[in-house]
Amino acid sequence: QVQLVQSGAEVKKPGASVRVSCTTSGYTFTQYYIYWVRQAPGQGLQWMGWINPNSGDTKYAQKFQGRVALARDTSISTAYMDLSGLRPDDTAIYYCIRDLAGRTLDIWGQGTMVTVSS
Partner 1 sequence: DVVVSQSPLSLPVTPGEPASISCRSSQSLLYSNGYNYLNWFLQRPGQSPQLLIYLGSTRASGVPDRFSGSGSGTDFTLKISRVEAEDVGVYYCMQALHIPYTFGQGTKLEIK
Query: Taking the mean position of all CA atoms in its chain, how far away is CA 72?
Result: 11
Q: Which span (9-17, 69-77, 81-89, 98-106) binds partner 1, by CB under 8 A?
A: 98-106
Report if residue 27 touches partner 1, rule: CB under 8 A.
no
User: Could you say whether residue 8 binds partner 1 (CB under 8 A)?
Assistant: no
DSSP string, 76-116: GTEEEEEE-S--GGG-EEEEEEEE-STT-EEEE---EEEEE
Rounded CA separation 93/41 (Å): 8
Residue type, 91: T
Q: Point out which residues pair with 19 in neighbouring strands.
A: 82
Does residue 106 belong to the site contacting partner 1 (CB under 8 A)? yes
**Closest approach of partner 1 to the CB of residue 104, in Å:** 4
* Window contacting partner 1 (CB under 8 A); options: 22-30, 42-50, 72-80, 84-92: 42-50
Q: Which of 1, 62, 75, 118 binds partner 1 (CB under 8 A)?
A: 62
User: Interface with partner 1 by CB under 8 A: which residues?
Assistant: 44-47, 59, 61-63, 95, 102-106, 108-111
